[in-house]
Chain A
């Protein structure tokens, strides 16, 4: 197509603008790898902890350390995806910041909860000894906090990118956060695993499917 200095009619100009804006919008598709990985990691952590409680065994390490290990493949995935990107949209930039902020909030929350437990445990023990009653079960109210946090970036991403699986995933996290206030600890773990699968793993599968279709389409166009 020869574009060289070709003059356009007003209608052609508007049509060209609309076509190019659409092309730019459709230009980036996430591979879904990171979403699937985090969905799987969080679900595995919650289910292994549930199995430990249910079947009375204990792993020699804290299974939640897996979330720290998962940062390494996350960095590698981010570098690879960044290399593949030929275009950077404003949406992607905002989403990157939202998920980075989510990661920071998550670790701050873990830090705060750990400190809270350290302060609470001796007080709860002393109360139990003096009163003969069980102390306030603070650990029962930890999962709702995490689920509220899981839901936020997921919902924003789903709504902003018009990606329904993530939108519903975010809402599912919030629904589970309400449920976990009333359910016992083991059920909380199960609901956390389900939330991770609904919010990240399943949307990740959809993303991967879309990415493959996009790549196939691009390959067909380049033939």
Chain B
């Protein structure tokens, strides 16, 4: 039976962000921006949505007097991502 894909993850930029963060301990906002080729504004909005869903933690701090934003995936985010991939495989396996 097909399960609905998580709408938070089933969006190109948010999925790209989660896929980047899933394999690393933490990453800076600038790194995510560089790898996804997204605009800073759009990326901020999508990161905020992932944060509100509890999928990532966002830490804002200062590094050498410059603001730095660090993102890391939460346990809830890992579970959601794994479930999303399992559901995708169900679709593709039966398609």
Are A and B co-members of a single complex?
Answer: yes
Residue-wise, chain B 45-76 has the 8 Å CB interface mask toward A (1 for contact) of 01000000000000000011000000000000
Q: Is the interface of B mostly helix, strand, loop or mixed?
A: helix
Which of A14, A21, A86 lies in contact with B22, CB distance below 8 A? A21
Chain A residue contacts of B92, Cβ below 8 A: 10-11, 14
Residues of A within 8 A of B95 (CB): 10
User: B91: nearest residue on chain A (CB-CB)?
Assistant: A10
| Nearest residue, chain B, Cβ from A222 | B34
Bound: A89/B91 CA distance, A: 31
B30, A86: Cβ atoms closer than 8 Å: yes
Task: Give min CB distance, B85 to chain A, whole Å.
Answer: 7
Number of residues from B at the complex interface, CB < 8 A: 33
From A1-9, A106-114, A119-127, the one touching the partner chain is A1-9
Known A10-B88, A16-B19, A27-B31; contact A4-B25, beta-carbon cutoff 8 A: no
- Complex-state Cα separation, A94 to B36, whole angstroms: 26
User: What is the CA–CA distance of A2 and B85 in the complex, to the nearest angstrom?
Assistant: 23
Q: How large is the interface on A (under 10, 10 to 19, 20 to 34, 35 or more residues)?
A: 20 to 34
B15 touches A87 (CB 8 A): no
Known A-B contacts A87-B24, A88-B25; A6 and B12 likewise in contact (beta carbons under 8 Å): yes
Which among B24, B26, B31, B38 has the greatest number of chain A C-beta atoms within 10 A?
B24
7 contacts across the A-B interface (CB closer than 8 A) = A3-B11, A4-B42, A6-B12, A6-B13, A14-B88, A16-B16, A88-B24
Besides the known contacts A10-B91, A20-B36, A90-B25, 10 further A-B residue pairs in the complex with CB atoms under 8 A apart: A3-B11, A5-B11, A7-B11, A10-B92, A13-B88, A16-B12, A20-B16, A21-B19, A23-B20, A24-B23
Tell me the B residues contacting A by CB distance below 8 Å: 5, 10-13, 15-16, 19-28, 30-31, 34-38, 42, 46, 63-64, 85, 88, 91-92, 95
